[in-house]
Amino acid sequence: MKTEIITIGDEILIGQTVDTNSTWIANELNLIGIDVAKIVSISDNKEEIFKALYDAENYADLVLITGGLGPTDDDITKKALAEYFNTKLVQSKEVLEHVEAFASKRKVWMNERNIRQADILENSEIIQNEIGTAPGMKLKKNDVTFIAMPGVPFEMKRMMSNYIIPWLKENQIDQYIIHKLILTQGWPESRLAEYLESWEKNIPKEISIAYLPSPGIIKLRLTGKGNNKKLLEELIQDQVKKLEKLIPELICGYDSEKLEEIIGNLLKKENSQLSIAESCTGGNISHLLTSIPGSSEYFSGGVVAYSNKIKKDVLSVSKSNLIDYGAVSKEVVEEMATGVKNLYKTDFAIATSGIAGPTGGTEEKPVGTTWIAVASKDKVISKKYVFGNHRNRNIQMASITALNMLRKLILGLEI
């Protein structure tokens, strides 16, 4: 199925916004075996939209359009689509009710613009926008399916995940594609790839692999393609077992799991509470943990101690350790962990102290130097890391590394 993505809006063309929507869509489609053949970005301009639609109609079988469905005057996609498809806009009672409910809940009054959001292309199928007011629309012309979605990333993503991907899976797939993700933590991509080189050479031809790096986590994606689903599943499972023998200490999760979720599940299972003392990570570990629904069940909270005074006054770190060893030290980070554990009366605790950068480094402790401690009822374990020069990357690397240290502590693995 030849698939094209069209993004409409000036932000990308003037270089203000990176087109992450298309990347996300392409990746999601790839996961269900649909290759994107072309991605096109054009501006909010009727002639450009017409031309892009015409080209797409003569090129693709499936056309995914994002952007320009908002309530402001620069959003012209809906009008342009109506004109191109020689149809008209009609008010959808269903969408209007949704927009009204949406507005009333947010205490926003209904106005002409809101009401216009309920207009849809006649003969189009509505795709519900659960978290916004602009509905998606699906319509067919000469065997080509056009799907229009808002450009707001989280609205588009929800629509894709809940409606479009399931619909495509049911109707359009001609071969099986199976993915398995192995999450690794601890080694950089180049080291991992070199170590796995001979394994990679011997994987069966039905399976391809890709390294997906992000700060702190390298994902290994195994993809199997073919007509025999059961065989593919077995082939992938064989390779997963091989990897589990090759790099047991690096694997920290599978598929869409997040480390903050894995830890949540472990803590729930142990019926335990966690608290966190953050210096260099500045609240990011707490933020990651609390992004998971239901985290209040096992996460008591934490202290962001961004100054020595707070480390001393709130976390009971000893003045002498701060003076003798400095804030970025084994002694201080361990005191921070036990300090927050005692203050919050939790079973486990994490503490971080490091030099996130870009300034503040010394010859002895360069930017990126980070001490991380994890504590349980009966012990505290700390380790020193030297990450890089980039502040936000350092914060993310330290956060992920700290979460994985805790995971190992809870599971009784060597840290």
Residues 125-144 that bind a second copy (CB under 8 A): 130-131, 133
* 8 Å CB contact between 178 and 230: no
* 8 Å CB contact between 37 and 61: no
Exactly one of 138, 221, 258, 330 binds a second copy (CB under 8 A); that residue is 221
Beta bridge partners of 309: none
Exactly one of 37, 90, 240, 251 binds a second copy (CB under 8 A); that residue is 37
Exactly one of 25, 137, 222, 337 binds a second copy (CB under 8 A); that residue is 25
d(C-alpha 246, C-alpha 197), whole Å? 12
CA atoms within 13 A on the CB side of 305: 30
C-beta of 29 vs 139, nearer to a second copy: 29
Question: Does residue 260 touch a second copy according to CB under 8 A?
Answer: no
Q: How far is the CB of 235 from a second copy (least distance, A)?
A: 18
Exactly one of 69, 127, 152, 409 binds a second copy (CB under 8 A); that residue is 152
Residues 57-116 that bind a second copy (CB under 8 A): 59, 70-74, 105-109, 111-114
Question: Does residue 334 touch a second copy according to CB under 8 A?
Answer: no
C-beta of 139 vs 368, nearer to a second copy: 368
C-beta of 244 vs 313, nearer to a second copy: 313
Question: Does residue 161 touch a second copy according to CB under 8 A?
Answer: no
C-beta of 327 vs 380, nearer to a second copy: 327
Binding segment (CB under 8 A) for a second copy, from list 10-18, 162-170, 246-254, 264-272: 10-18
Question: Does residue 163 touch a second copy according to CB under 8 A?
Answer: no
Is 408 exposed, middle or buried, given 0-12, 13-18 or 19+ CB atoms closer than 10 A?
middle
C-beta of 139 vs 183, nearer to a second copy: 183
| 3-class DSSP string for 161-225 | HHHHHHHHHHHCCCCEEEEEEEEEECCCHHHHHHHCHHHHHCCCCCEEEEEEEECCEEEEEEEEE
Find where tokens 């087109």 sit.
19
Exactly one of 8, 42, 243, 336 binds a second copy (CB under 8 A); that residue is 42
d(C-alpha 8, C-alpha 156), whole Å? 13
Q: What's the distance, CA 342 to chain centroid?
A: 33
Q: What are the C-alpha distances in Å from 105 to residues 69, 100, 122, 213, 226?
A: 21, 8, 28, 40, 48
